[in-house]
Structures are given as structure tokens and as C-alpha cells.
Amino acid sequence: MQPSFRFLFALLCIVPLAVLSLPAQNGLYEVKEHAHPPHGWIQHSVPPADHTISLRIGLPQPNFNILETHLYEVSDPGHHRYGQHLSKEEVEELVAPHPESLQAVNEWLASHGIQEDEITRSPAKDWITLTIPIGMAEKMLDTKYHVWKNLKTGDDIVRTTSYSLPIGLHEHVDVIQPTTMFAQFKPFRSTIVKSNEEPSSVINDALGSITNPATGLTVDASCNQTITISCLNQLYNAVGYKQSSTSKNSIGVTGYVGEYANLADLQQFYAEQRPDARGSSFRFISVNGGLNDQSKPGFEANLDVQFALGISYPILATFYSTAGTPPFKPDVITPTNTNEPYSDWLDSVINQVDIPLTISTSYGDDEQTVPESFARRVCSGFAQLGARGVSVVFSSGDFGVGDGNPDPATQTCFTNDGNNQTKFIPVFPATCPFVTSVGATQNISPEVAVSRFFSGGGFSNYFLRPAYQKRAVPGYLDTLEHGTYQGLFNRNGRGVPDIAAQGDRFRIIVGGQPAMIGGTSAAAPALAGFIALLNEVRLRQGRPPLGFLNPFIYSIGSSGFTDILSGHNSGCGTPGFNVTKGWDPVTGLGTPNFGRLKNLV
């Protein structure tokens, strides 16, 4: 345990704790959380009382502020504790609930006949999971569940718009889900299908070369039509870097909603773009019953694995397959987990002793469809990973400032608070201040924000602007004309994205055939591959991994990124935000220059 950690924890132990009242088990109930269903969801039917549901109960983490202090200290290159990451046990001590909260929730569960052997607790005991019939959940939460249908996708889920708890229990419970959450975790990608945009059959420099005016680097002209590993190495100044791997380095890629990484496709991709990696693969880990169906290669999973691993080879790689959110089927009465899958993945990975040092995720959803209480608890999980030395990378979304409708002209962008106000729609988990969010660029001379789809970006309505953005973001806001988009975004919110990378016309292999794909879901794994290489630089010098990246990125690391100066991110019937000099909510601080960054780290 680090000296300052011991001091803070000892100090905490001697400070008198507030006396917490235990709930009267038969006391009055009061609404704990209420939500309006998002646009496009309609109440459809009533689920059978014996349909089972897996409830997750989040208990308060009274010492999270201390964990956050540690996170920023060990992630700040200007702090004397930089790189002194916490252990799994130290993090668990800091997120553990107060014993009185444990007692209060235990008594409440026992009053409904739920025994200890019927529940599962997280290692820190801050989460409790139990699988019970809908009828019992309705009694415990003084609510009524319904089957809700999404008019756009046809998906059915079991949700309620309000739940209650005994008054005395409110202070001992942060959140219970699935209750009011209507989110639909989805990949951020846009697949090219036009015949005139078929992938090139030959990858070479036959078209000559182009010089990027911003960096002076020479790049194959063919990279304007097709992005390969070679293109990214050239564009981001990684040509000639001799890669190796220490036994301590690692990279992870997450897969959700039935996206499976295909081994045969990976080998074909390696043969074409990374011949020295042929024969290598990834470690597969199933989360919550996630499958490894090699008969169903996924565009998203293949994209993420092929580029993240292709750039970072030979660094040890892991692919996580997390079971998604299955639709409600009234004729099959089996336990059904309808939580957002990233929370299941977080539960699993936080419980591991050895976690990949860089993790890329190319999925997310509209922030407003995730209840704020749940978003904050999930975000605290990412903080735990950062405190342990893990760099967590998320794509920023593909629909500009809009609501997920790919046609900016028809986006509605209404709030879900019952007021139907028009507002920009930020994306979660990219808005979590403890992850690094990645926007997308295209072209070589010059490199600009993507134009065929729009790099997600904007400002969180849940999370305030973190300290590491206190200089960069206000500078952008000062460039906006007075009154521009007044009321459409939160000027005090966490700005997204942090950085960017190429995100269009990536050549991948799917089902044995080449394909072209684009989206911020391409930018995130590509960027993660370079972050893994930067960790390799540090580890080979006997230094700890980078961990939570943002304090570095917004300080000494900012000179390692190339500013993008052109583009915008349309949405909600507007042109969205413009790309400007310095940080902007389209491309962040810009794209990486690996040659500079490896000297800075």
C-alpha cells in the first residue's frame, strides 16, 4: 500500500461517521427513481408474474472521492505519485459500502424471504445481484413492470418508469436496475455498401505518395481511398518502430450484442497486412455466457480485433465476448439479464487480478437513455480500472450531435425528461470523465473530420467538466458566437471527444472477403493499438503503464497530437460544432504522432 494511501485510509478510519438510520421494514415507501420512456418506445403488454429478472442493487460508495483523488494523482505526469497505481485490494477498500448500508439492505432482502445463498455480491460488496420473478420484484419495489416495444427496432424489454423503496432505505441504495433504463447498447460503425466504393484488391504505393502538410510525413496516396495498418503507421509516425512485447504488456477488445471475432478472418487479414503476425491469435474470455460463434463473423468485432491487434502485435491480446440484452420472450420463462452489457463486463473485469493495460470499446448509447444514477455507477467502475493502471478507450459515436438517426435533417433530438425540449444528444459511456473518448477523421492532405458520417461529440448533461479540461474546453467555448446553440448543450459539461484518429474506409476481412468499414468504432481500436505500443515503450524502460490517459493527454502529452482544423459534426437539424484550432468537440486535441508521444511518455 502506497504511503499516502495508508495515511488517507487511516485518517478515514478515525473520522466519526454519520449515524445512518436503518429502514423500518414495513415503513412507508417513497419513489426512488422516475423516468420518462425515450422516444420510440411504447408500452406493449404485461409480462407474466413468474418471468424472472436479474436485479442489480448498487450500494453507496462513501469513499469514492478518495479513490478519485488517488486516480488523478497517479495519472498526472506532474505529480510525484505518477504511475503508482493501486492494487485490486486497495481499490476494493475504497469503493466498499458502509457496514450500516450492508445491514440495511440485508434486512430489507430478508424481509422478502431472500436468503444469502440466493444473491451474488461483488468483491467490494458494493453490488448485489439477485434473480427473482417479476411479481416479487414488483412487490419489493412497489412498482409495475410492463413489456415495452421499440418501434424502430422491434425489440421488446421489460421495464418500469418508476420504482420505490422504504424511506429509510433510500440513503443505503444508489441504484437498482433493470428498472427505468431503456438504453440499447450499439456499435458505432457505418458499413460502405456502394459498388463504387469496393475495397481495393491491391495494397501498394503504386499511386505515389502525399505529404501531410500538418506533420510533413509522407503517406501512400492510396491511403486516401483505403486505410490499412501501413497507412496508419505512416500517417501517425510509427514507421520503423521496432515492436516487441514484454510479458507485462497487454491489450483488450470488447465485443457485445452478438459480435464475434473470427479467427480465420484474422489470419487472412494478417497475411495481407501484417505477415509477421500470422499464426498468432487472441485469448478469448466469455462474460455472462458470451459466445464464440466462428460461423458468424461480425463486422464490428473483426474491425476492432484486426486493427487493434494488427497495430499492437506482438502484445498479448484478449477478446471479451459479453452476452447482450436478449429480447423478452413471454413463452420462455428463464432468467434473462436485461441490463446494459457493459455493466456485466465491468463486473467481470474488475474482479480479475490481471487486466489488459489498454482496452478498446466501440459501443455506446444516447446518454439520456441511461439513468444518471446508473451512468454514474458505471463511470465509477471505469475510474477503478484507471486507478489500477488501465487505459480505457471509447469511441465517441457516429451521429454528430444527434440522436442516432443517420440522416441529420430528420433527427428529432428531444429530451426524455417529459418536457420534449430540443437538445443535442451526447453519448455514454464516452461522456464518462474517466475514459478516453475518440472521434474520427479522414483523408491525408489535409486530415479532416469525417464528412460521410459525423464524429460524435459535444458536452455531457450528467458529468461536469473535469479539471484536466479546465483550459482546453473554455478556449473552444470562447470561439462560439454569443448565443450560438444557446440551451442546446451544457456549457459546463465534460467535453467529448478527447482525441481522434482515422475512422473511415478501413479495409478488413469478414467471412473470407475484404470489406470497407468506417466509424468512430474504427478510430477507437486503432488508437488503442498505438496506446498499447506506448505502454510497451514505458514497460521496456522499467516504468509503469500509462493508465488513465486524460491528465497526460491534456498536459505534456498535448504536443504529441496533430491539431485537426477542418470539419463539423452535424445533427439535430444543425451543422453541429465546428472544428477549430485547439480542442474542439469533434476531433478533441487531434490525432496522434507516435514518434513524438513515445518520447513524451
Residues 43 and 111 in one domain: yes
Please indicate, yes or no, if residue 169 is contained in any of the structural domains: yes
Distance CA 329, CA 230 (A): 47
pLDDT at 205 > cutoff 70: no
Please indicate, yes or no, if residue 19 is contained in any of the structural domains: no
How much is the pLDDT for 485?
93
| Beta partners for residue 391, in sequence order | 358
The mean of the pLDDT values for the chain is: 89
Please indicate, yes or no, if residue 417 is contained in any of the structural domains: yes
What range does the domain containing 146 cover? Answer: 27-61+96-182
Q: Which of 222, 460, 521, 570 is catalytic?
A: 521
Question: 528: closest CA among 321, 254, 197?
Answer: 254
Using 50, 70 and 90 to split pLDDT, how confident is the model at 421? Answer: confident
Distance CA 525, CA 302 (A): 11
pLDDT at 8 > cutoff 50: no
Which phi-psi region, left, alpha or beta, contains residue 197 (left: φ > 0; alpha: ψ -120 to 50)? Answer: alpha
Q: Is residue 93 annotated as a catalytic residue, yes or no? A: no
Please count the structural domains in the chain. 2
Using 50, 70 and 90 to split pLDDT, how confident is the model at 587? Answer: very high
Mean pLDDT of 476-492: 91
Query: Are residues 187 and 300 in contact, defined by beta-carbon separation less than 8 angstroms?
Result: yes
Please indicate, yes or no, if residue 38 is contained in any of the structural domains: yes
Q: Which of 68, 73, 92, 304 is catalytic?
A: 304
Lowest mean pLDDT, pick from 201-215, 235-249, 263-277, 529-543: 201-215
Residues 158 and 236 in one domain: no
Question: 494: closest CA among 570, 588, 577?
Answer: 588
Residues 165 and 225 in one domain: no
Question: 346: closest CA among 293, 301, 386, 306?
Answer: 386
How much is the pLDDT for 419?
80
How much is the pLDDT for 339?
61
How much is the pLDDT for 337?
52
Place of cell 505529404: 211
Please indicate, yes or no, if residue 262 is contained in any of the structural domains: yes
Q: Is residue 107 annotated as a catalytic residue, yes or no? A: no
Chain center to CA of 562? 24
Question: 74: closest CA among 390, 315, 416, 487?
Answer: 390
pTM to 2 decimal places: 0.92
Residues 178 and 213 in one domain: no
Q: DSSP letter string over 336-361? A: ---S-HHHHHHHHHHT-SS--SEEEE
The last residue of a domain, from among 163, 182, 201? 182
pLDDT digits (tens, 9 = 90+) for 351-407: 999 999 999 999 998 899 899 999 999 999 999 999 999 999 999 998 899 876 655
Distance CA 136, CA 118 (A): 14
pLDDT at 20 > cutoff 80: no
How much is the pLDDT for 418?
76
Using 50, 70 and 90 to split pLDDT, how confident is the model at 193? Answer: very low
Residues 132 and 231 in one domain: no
Under DSSP, the state recorded for 503 is -
Mean pLDDT: which of 67-71, 181-185, 447-451 is highest?
Answer: 67-71
Residues 395 and 451 in one domain: yes
Please indicate, yes or no, if residue 86 is contained in any of the structural domains: no
The last residue of a domain, from among 144, 164, 182? 182
Residues of the chain with pLDDT > 70: what percent?
Answer: 88
How much is the pLDDT for 536?
96
pLDDT at 85 > cutoff 80: yes
Using 50, 70 and 90 to split pLDDT, how confident is the model at 156? Answer: confident
pLDDT digits (tens, 9 = 90+) for 47-84: 988 888 889 999 999 999 999 999 999 999 999 999 99
Residues 157 and 221 in one domain: no
Q: Is residue 304 annotated as a catalytic residue, yes or no? A: yes
Residues 547 and 480 in one domain: yes
Please indicate, yes or no, if residue 463 is contained in any of the structural domains: yes
Residues 114 and 215 in one domain: no
Using 50, 70 and 90 to split pLDDT, how confident is the model at 439? Answer: very high
Distance CA 554, CA 21 (A): 43
Place of cell 467502475: 381
Mean pLDDT of 221-243: 94
Using 50, 70 and 90 to split pLDDT, how confident is the model at 328? Answer: low
Residues 173 and 291 in one domain: no
Q: Would you state the cell numbers that stand for residue 36, as one nine-digit string?
A: 420518462
Using 50, 70 and 90 to split pLDDT, how confident is the model at 451? Answer: confident
Question: 145: closest CA among 18, 247, 44?
Answer: 44
**What CATH number is attached to the domain comprising 343?**
3.40.50.200
Please indicate, yes or no, if residue 195 is contained in any of the structural domains: no
Q: Would you state the cell numbers that stand for residue 166, as one nine-digit string?
A: 422504504
pLDDT at 128 > cutoff 80: yes
Using only C-alpha atoms, the chain has a radius of gyration, in whole angstroms, of 24
Q: Which of 220, 300, 340, 398 is catalytic?
A: 300
Query: Are residues 442 and 586 in contact, defined by beta-carbon separation less than 8 angstroms?
Result: no
Neighbours of 27 (CB within 10 A): 12
Residues 155 and 276 in one domain: no
Question: 548: closest CA among 376, 410, 432, 427?
Answer: 432
Mean pLDDT: which of 11-20, 243-252, 588-597 is highest?
Answer: 588-597
How much is the pLDDT for 410?
60
Mean pLDDT of 329-355: 74
Residues 270 and 158 in one domain: no
pLDDT digits (tens, 9 = 90+) for 130-145: 999 999 999 999 999 9
Using 50, 70 and 90 to split pLDDT, how confident is the model at 195? Answer: very low
